Amino acid sequence: MVPVQLPDPDKGLASCAALQANSRGRVYPESPHPYRGEFQRDRDRIIHSAAFRRLVYKTQVFVNHEGDLYRTRLTHSLEVSQIARTVAVQLGLNEQLVEAICLAHDLGHTPFGHAGQDSLNDCMRDYGGFEHNLQSLRVVDKLEEKYAAFPGLNLCYETREGILKHCSRHNALELGELGRRFIDGGQPGLEAQLVNIADAVAYNNHDVDDGIRAGLLNFEQLCEVPVFGAQYSRVRAAHPGIGRRALTHETVRAMINFIVTDLLVTTRTNLAEHSPADINAVRAQPRPLVAFSDEVFVQHMELKGFLNKQLYRHPRVLDMTGRADLVIRGLFALYFNDPAIMPEEFAARAAEGESHAGDAGRARAVADYIAGMTDRYALSAYHRLVDATLVF
């Protein structure tokens, strides 16, 4: 039997990409795999994690049971991956690393989307707060339990760097090398920069689709937003008899193509101008090199502002937000006051945390448990333990 050999994982990549050859490695050293590269192994570990599977039942904007066709955290993560991988290939960046970051970036998100995150952060205000990016890192570093030799998934530095998009200075000080850029300035690698922007492109444009589907947004409103109005007009002109559903899809598709093309062209220009020799030169830049043109950035932000006002603050969405707040606060108070109600592993973690850090340690274990819940699990627990009459 001929042994399987690993092809060069860095072949064809730009010198400024994240190369396996110059990776900062894993916290716990491991022997290389005979036919999978290190960033591929990271992606595979993420896909097989329990936290990744739970994303299918976590809210993007609309609670999962409101309809089968709305985005969830899982489908959002896949759509981010599709956009980012397309750009990565064109720029000679590490596609496998990009995919790993995309699939992991929301692993720490709470049930009920940003509403759940805001509520849990408020519950944790006196105990260190709650940041979903930091929680995603906590999931892959500590909370996933799959290996005998180490806690978490033991991902490469570059994958962890990409997961941690935002971080408070206080938390960054506790993260060592991984937190330095939030203290000293500087940038992550190009792959991490790309995922950060692809995330925003995906949720901006796909939330338009979901908002129209839900009847909370209409074409007349959206045409006041320049980036939508321009593409809508082009689609209508090219297809005069087009139906409403196809019109929505074609317009959103055209918006994504327009924005992503600008991102690709502008980033190529930035890379040609600055010519970073390697990933460390990228990290030393004062500003990200993966970026929109000024004109398209303005249009992107106008769409984001429109969605914030017309969709995320729509009375129907705010109604869900209010009920999500009740669920998160109710569960937090319950588990904080009696950690033994939680499953054994979290009850034990609460006791251990309390022995080391007092109430803050106990609260962190409670936050870990609640953040890992799906929408329907959180609702079920609330109905069973707090208030069976809440209608969601």
DSSP letter string, 213-268? HTTS--HHHHTTSHHHHHHHHHHHHH-TT--HHHHHHHHHHHHHHHHHHHHHHHHH
At residue 152, the 3 state secondary structure works out as: strand
pLDDT, tens digit, 9 for 90 and up, residues 285-294: 999 999 999 9
pTM: 0.95
pLDDT at residue 50, as a whole number: 96
pLDDT tens digits for 84-142?
Answer: 999 999 999 999 999 999 999 999 999 998 889 999 999 999 999 999 999 999 999 99
- Positive/negative CA dihedral, 153, 110, 260, 187: negative
> Encoding tokens for residue 127?
């105990």
Place of tokens 């997961």: 163
Instruction: Provide the Cα torsion 60, 64, 68, 69; round to 10°.
Output: -10
Contact between residue 39 and residue 17 where contact means Cβ atoms under 8 Å apart: no
Write down how long the chain is: 392
The number of CA neighbours under 13 Å toward the Cβ of 342 is 26
- Grade residue 6 by pLDDT with cuts at 50, 70 and 90: confident
Can you say how many angstroms the Cα of residue 1 is from the centroid of all Cα atoms in its chain? 42
Indicate the SS3 state at residue 145: strand
Per-residue buried b or exposed e for 324-357, using 16+ beta carbons within 10 Å of the residue's own CB: bbebbbbbbebbbeebeebeeebbebbeebbeee
State residue 373's pLDDT score: 96
Give the chain's mean pLDDT: 93
Residue 1 confidence (pLDDT) above 70:
no
Six-digit token pair at 241?
Answer: 């008899």
Dihedrals phi, psi of 41, to nearest 5 degrees: -60, -40
Going 259 to 262 to 266 to 268, the CA torsion angle's sign is positive
Instruction: Label residue 67 by pLDDT band (50, 70, 90).
Output: very low
Classify residue 126 by its DSSP letter.
G
Distance in angstroms (rounded) separating the CA atoms of residues 235 and 246 = 10
Question: Does residue 158 have a pLDDT over 70?
Answer: yes
